A and B are shown apart, each in its own frame.
Chain A
Amino acid sequence: MIHLAETELDAQRSYKYRINVCCSSGCLPFGALKVLKAFEDAVKEFGVQKECKVARTGCIGTCSVGPAVLVEPGDYLYQNVTPEKARLIIRDHVVLGLPVKDMLYGTESYFRKQHRLVMRNAGKIDPYRIEDYIAAGGYSALVKCLMKLSPKEVIDELYVSGLRGRGGAGFPTWQKWNFVARAHRMPKYIIANLDEGDPGVFANRTLAEADPHAILEGMLIAAYATGAEKGYIYIRAEYPLAVETLKKAIEKARAMNLLGEKILEMPFNFDVELRLGAGAFVAGEETAILASVEGKRAMPRPRPPYPAASGLWGNPTLIQNVETLANVPQIVSHGGLWFSKIGVPNCTGTKCFSLTGKVKNPGLIEVPMGITLREVIYDIGGGVAGDRAFKAVLVGGPSGGCLPDTMLDLPIDYESLTKAGAIMGSGGIVVIDDNSCMVDTAKFFVDFCVDESCGKCTPCRVGLRKVQETYKRIMRGEGRAEDLDFLRKLCSYIKEASLCGLGQTAPNPVLTTLRYFGKEYQEHIFEKKCTANKCFRHDGEARNI
């Protein structure tokens, strides 16, 4: 493998320039493939095949100005590249050595406060080539585990690192691994959770499209540490490109004996299979994902027993978000102590966020834990788009919370967010401006959770429907004075009595909007006024209420 890495590195060094064309789902609809082709043609036209390598890569992070192209060395980032511009870039930048200044991405601050750990390879390697990943140091952590570390030492390293689950709840990763490692029943399973059902979130998809082998390596290390022999990647069927990329990555890894039996000539067997989800938000919940992988309706069941004790077909199962898994190879390579110094003490490392909504520079960002919302929205995101006024920020998807401007200095870590009424969730930050009505926005999330409730337990199935009815009434102009208290009470019941994470967090948007934007509710009920002009409308432009 070292030999392969060196040959690949030599090959890469022989090129003076490397042109990385982002071909992930964000840039493809804007013609990224045509741009890729144009680059290849232009390289031939100017006869610089020997100096310039054109690579198809994953997401560079600036999804709002796609197709994006990164030219190395120097990390020159070109925005909104078209086939014509591609030819210009080759002519000026590669042949003459003069970067085309007016086409460069101008917002340096977008990257300044980011810390790319999980996404370190994104936009720099070709996800279809395992050689690229290996040349970038990939699979060396696996080799280190197999040659030097015992399973217990791997888990110790995770303990030191302080890594916590990136799926939302923030459970310490080492503890989960320890449970599974200690369980006696065989066989054991690993499920990599890529069922990114939260609307407004695309961090996991981007990771799978840009660096699929990091996920596989994380799974392999988890398998070594826990003694599992079979893994599943549960991925949404709505992500065809990510499915395709992972399929190819698994094939390549199998061909190189990195998956299968006697991996790297060691007594270690592990294989991975893809499982396609089919559009059910609740399937991201850990007991629901088990049911879905088993081919049943994705309905959660009460815990305990936890999946670590009794998961797939009653056997010990480790369920981990793909972002968590992608962190693991780096922790093994550089040591847990190194990792624990990134972020803040009780919440180490980085987190990927999809920054979207009414913000100037939307895209995929990765920031150290403990950064404030203000830094994310204003320094990285460039502030509210179109010079409108900031109204709220939604953190954590439909089960997250809407926070007002007074909360912007809140540091991003699991505990602070939960205290404010939001959750880390799978990492969505949606900025809302004064064009939106908070009552209407809260109802949008309630609608979503009503649709996605699996119907198993009553608080979630019936409770959310009652909440929805109350909202409809308020938005029709028939709100009553007692509605606010009723909503508060009902939501706290749903929170306490629901079976799974969906029901327990579904009232968050209602409770946070009531807490921080109570004035708007008052206006709706007593004055029949909607400042954003979304409710009480009968001209057919409004939502069905």
Chain B
Amino acid sequence: MQKDKRLEMLHQTIVAHGYQKSSLLEILHRAQELYGYLDSDLLSYVAENLNLPPSHVYGVAAFYNFFRLRKPGEHVVTSCLGTACYVKGAEEIISAIEREFKLERGKSTADGRLSLFITRCIGACAMAPAVVIDDEVIGKATKEAVIQRIKQLLEGNKPETS
């Protein structure tokens, strides 16, 4: 039911852009905003509507780092690895998260509750190192603070057992 509504909203965006092929990036942004990631059904839908070959749409989606082709975890940690953050020890924070929660950068934990992504600069260089946990930016981050915050989140809303 809800899925149909999102598809409808996506379709509205496509119409608003007049089915123009050049608006592909805008449409993909909208699709990711609505669904959180771009799976192959969604990409085919966009391709069909813009009258583009599916290979082209997939090619564009895969080219840009911002588009996610796999479902992200329930909570998303994005660590900045721009120059300023790197110089101030972002790498150590990332390694610490990897070890603590047993996941690799760019991937999710086995239970799908947490994803760790790396981004090249969020532009918060004056408060490097910066880590974004869900939508909250943590500036001048330390590994202890970041790990503690993630733990709080994970414990805060445990999946309901039925």
Contacts and interface: CB of A to CB of B under 8 A. Distances in A.
Contacts of A205: 123
Interface in B17-58: 20-26, 28-29, 56
* B interface majority secondary structure: helix
A295 B23 contact: yes
A286 B146 CA distance: 38
Given A29-B139, A278-B28, A200 B66 contact: no
B24 A26 contact: no
B66 A237 contact: yes
A130 B87 CA distance: 39
A543 B98 CA distance: 12
Contact of A357 (B29, B64, B81, B87): B87
A523 B88 CA distance: 24
A70 B138 CA distance: 24
A398 B121 CA distance: 12
A63 B126 contact: yes
Nearest to B83: A200
Interface string A270-300: 0000011111110000000000111111100
Interface string B118-140: 01111111111000000011110
Contacts of B159: none
A439 B66 CA distance: 29
Interface string B137-153: 11100000000000000
A196 B137 contact: no
A436 interface: yes
B83 A430 contact: yes
A540 B127 contact: no
A221 to B, nearest CB: 26
Contacts of A278: 25, 28-29, 64-67
A293 B24 CA distance: 9
A543 B124 contact: no
B126 A541 contact: no
Contacts of A198: 83, 121
B66 A238 contact: yes
Nearest to A436: B87
Given A238-B119, A280-B63, A541-B92, A200 B82 contact: yes
A201 B125 contact: yes
B84 A197 contact: no
A199 B25 contact: no
B60 A362 contact: no
Given A276-B26, A362-B126, A295 B66 contact: no
B5 interface: no
Nearest to A364: B126
Interface in A417-433: 428, 430-432
A26 B123 CA distance: 8
A293 B120 CA distance: 21
Interface in A164-213: 196-202, 205
A205 B121 CA distance: 12
A363 B126 contact: yes
B99 interface: yes
Contacts of B95: 540-541, 543
B21 A30 contact: no
Contacts of A357: 83-84, 87-88, 128
Nearest to B84: A356
A139 interface: no
Given A199-B120, A295-B23, A398-B83, A362 B66 contact: no
Interface string A385-418: 0000000001001100000000000000000000
Interface of B: 20-26, 28-29, 56, 59-60, 63-67, 80-88, 91-92, 95, 99, 119-128, 136-139
Question: 6 shortest A-B CB distances, which residue pairs?
Answer: A199-B82, A63-B126, A278-B64, A200-B83, A279-B65, A295-B24
6 contacts: A66-B126, A199-B120, A201-B121, A202-B125, A276-B29, A541-B92
